Structure 1
Amino acid sequence: MAFGAVLAMAGCAAPAPPQLLKADGVERASVDSAAFRDELASFRNSAFTLGDALLASGGEGNVVASPGSLLIALAMLRAGATGEAAAENDAVLGLPAAGRDEAMNALLASLEEYDGDPGLVDEENPPAKPLMHTANGLFVGRSTPTGEDYLKTLAKHYGTGVYPVDFPDEAATKPALDAWVNRNTGGRIEKAPAKYDTRNTFSLLNAVYFAGVWETPFAAEATSDAAFATAEGTASVPMMHGSQYMAYAEGAGWQAVDLPYGEGFVMRLVLPARGSDGGAAAIKADVLAGVADALEAADPGMVDIALPTWDHKSSFDLREVFEHMGLRKTLETITDFDAIQPGVVLTQAAQDANITVAEKGTVAAAVTQINGMATSAPAEPERSITFDRPFHYQIVHTDTGLPLFMGKVTDPR
């Protein structure tokens, strides 16, 4: 459909897009997360797989990424996939065989208990109850047919705002994309991460924002410079110190704790054994699954912890990440996303992420963007013409109207 089956809703404040649309008559489904425990466990493991790929692509230095944001964005993309691309995503990411969209709805609904406006957060004093804001957006070419069933799925299970825009009008559309990103990350990320292309016909976005204080904040006066072993040698860094109750576990080559926030969230910290091969880079998805199981089973106890402060940001070309993961059909197909738009091919994919960790707590944000271009969106013809009899032709210079060549065809044999 073009937008015959969408309902205009309240306009968004400038500089947001002029209209927010959603599938006509479709309300967000209410789900019980308890009914999707196996699927949610699959999502956890999928996020570990995506985290592996993101951190590996970030190089040897500091890296911050959001596998959660990428998972949600890929789930929205998967909702419009068929054929080899669909099978490839399910196999590579380990997505649930059934109930995928319903389970993602349950995941998003569980996060919404902590929703709020990132723009109201005082990042110097994060909130006692953590704020966890997620947002899904789909910007679509105003004149490009977009699948009705796809829009219904996004409305029913993802709460996705759908914005009709004119991609060739970069002066209007790029600021709208950037405003959406800025608003949903509280200004921590100001612009959409993927390169703008006027040929695109859709842009799918997920934003994640987190702000929260530690359950037991670190005392600022206890922070002091301490040695930290880097690849180049030993560096002196600000190190926070404290003792508090938290889950602790250890295994072959690692120790780990769940450092709690005010409620609902922890920062999971995994420390490789001293001198272990690969260091932090060796903490892969299979290890993280074992760490998670061990910490979730552990009883909290008093732990003395020393933790550096940090303030990092990263950017990712997700097409490279997808290529390395083996999502080649996803990148190459011009047929398997027809449910989104006719002949869509993915053009850009990117993520920006940042995090600030200090004595009071943590503030972090990420945006994932996946863009596509419809390569075959045939419109219904208003007229028809068949050259089945003698005809005249010219080759014309359009600036001057000069006919450089002229002829007639009486028999094309």
Structure 2
Amino acid sequence: MTVALANTLTSRWAAAADGPAAFSGAGVYPLLALLAGVASGPARDELLAVAPSPLELPASGAVRAAAGVWTRHDLPLAPGWDAGSRLSGDPAADRARLDAWAARSTGGLVPALPVAVDEDTALVLASALAVETQWRRPFDDAVMTPAGGPWSGLRLPSLSRGHVAADALAPLRATGGVTLLTVEGSEDVDVVLCLGAPPAAPGAVLATAIDGFAGAAPATAGPGVHAEEVDATDPAPELVVSLPSFDVTAGHDLLTMPDLFGLRTAARDGTFPGISPVDLAVSSARQQALARFTALGFQAATVTALAMFPLAFHPPTARRLRVTVTFDRPFGYFAVHRPTGLVLVAGWVRRP
């Protein structure tokens, strides 16, 4: 059920942003679910509408995920809230630590956390997701010169491969007028390519593909598909695939679409009593993403981060005397009746 909710967020994001170059609803969802569990009032209701249950990101040889929490060193925390790592209050030092975490968590694919950190930052939540898989059947390098469309006449570096087998057409499917091609990875991650017919908007094509993938039907016709009978010595069908290689990056400001992510009240009013008695609001919510499709395989990584600031918080300005008493050698004790001063029991502790 939670997977379906995360996929719905990805689909809605694709449609609302009209097909970003690279993005991950799965990278955002765990942070929204975490905030929903510690928010109150309208902020909680809005977050629960988007992410009502936790999502555990898969971990395998092809997928790795990480999460991080950093709180300001002087921020009082609610009982039970894990302080995680503490921000030092030195923006340059904190920035270096957060960037190092992003690079380490994505194998260097995303070298920096996408949110700013300054002396007013009270909390940073982050998730990192990295995917890397090799193709079961690699592609060959080729050149493509489209005869029509926006790329007409361009000479493009491309990838191609052909496969003759009884099940060669199994990866080709269609849903809602969108052609889907599954490129199988060598482990447990595949990449699905989707193509719609002009003038369908990119966001609509992506949303249709994501929503309909599970029920997509086998197809030998559709956008980008050309079927013909050819002479051969083997009657088994052949699937020939041609596409440009790609290497894309994108940055996203989630607060430009606050309703999509359930962050409108969280960014305006807060509050999150499950984190701190101090009223907090989301000051920044961003994702940095990349995807790379080559002849040998696929790489992708996202780092999503939310920064929070106190709506009204005055750090301590006074100094106090602190006295510590330690009983670290044999000591005596007694119990006294308070109204009368009667000592009821007494003794000496020789060994702890």
TM-score (norm 1): 0.65
* Partner in structure 2 of residue 73 of structure 1: 31
Alignment of 1:389-408 (within 5 A): none
Q: Which runs of 5+ in 1 are unaligned?
A: 1-37, 115-130, 152-160, 385-413
- Classify the secondary structure of the residue corresponding to 1:52: helix
Relative to its length, the structure with more helix (as a share) is 1
Could you tell me how far apart the structure 2 residues matched to 1:284 and 1:307 are?
17
- Aligned residue type for 1:312: V
* Partner in structure 2 of residue 292 of structure 1: 214
* Partner in structure 1 of residue 297 of structure 2: 361
Contact kept? 1:80, 1:150, Cα under 8 Å = no
Structure 1 residue aligned with 2:146, among 214, 227, 231?
227
* Partner in structure 1 of residue 160 of structure 2: 241
Structure 2 residue aligned with 1:270, among 178, 194, 209?
194
Could you tell me how far apart the structure 1 residues matched to 2:212 and 2:310 are?
42
Structure 2 residue aligned with 1:198, among 119, 138, 145?
119
- Classify the secondary structure of the residue corresponding to 1:89: helix
Contact kept? 1:79, 1:150, Cα under 8 Å = no
2:4 is the alignment partner of 1:41: yes
Contact kept? 2:114, 2:305, Cα under 8 Å = yes
RMSD: 2.9
Q: Shift of residue 72 of structure 1?
A: 2.2
Cα deviation, 1:99-150, whole Å, max 9, x if unaligned, reads x13xx2xx32xx1233xxxxxxxxxxxxxxxx21110001111111223334
Q: Which runs of 5+ in 2 are unaligned?
A: 220-236, 321-352
Q: Shift of residue 228 of structure 1?
A: 7.3
Structure 1 residue runs of 4+, over 6 Å off?
A: 378-384
Q: Label 1:81 to 1:57 Cα distance change in 2 as closer, same or farther (>3 A).
A: farther
2:75 is the alignment partner of 1:144: yes
* Partner in structure 1 of residue 90 of structure 2: 169
Contact kept? 1:205, 1:370, Cα under 8 Å = yes
2:14 is the alignment partner of 1:56: no
Could you tell me how far apart the structure 2 residues matched to 1:230 and 1:338 are?
54
Larger relative contact order (C-alpha < 8 A, sep ≥ 6)? 2
Higher Rg of the two aligned structures? 2
TM-score (norm 2): 0.75
Structure 2 residue aligned with 1:89, among 7, 32, 47?
47
Could you tell me how far apart the structure 1 residues matched to 2:125 and 2:305 are?
6
How many equivalent pairs are there? 297
Could you tell me how far apart the structure 2 residues matched to 1:279 and 1:234 are?
22
- Classify the secondary structure of the residue corresponding to 1:113: coil
Cα deviation, 1:55-90, whole Å, max 9, x if unaligned, reads 4385xxxx1112211122222222322221121123
- Aligned residue type for 2:65: T
Could you tell me how far apart the structure 2 residues matched to 1:353 and 1:318 are?
13
Range that drifts further, 133-142 or 281-290: 281-290
Identity of aligned residues (%): 22
Q: Label 1:182 to 1:226 Cα distance change in 2 as closer, same or farther (>3 A).
A: same
Q: Label 1:290 to 1:172 Cα distance change in 2 as closer, same or farther (>3 A).
A: same
- Classify the secondary structure of the residue corresponding to 1:347: strand
Contact kept? 1:204, 1:370, Cα under 8 Å = yes
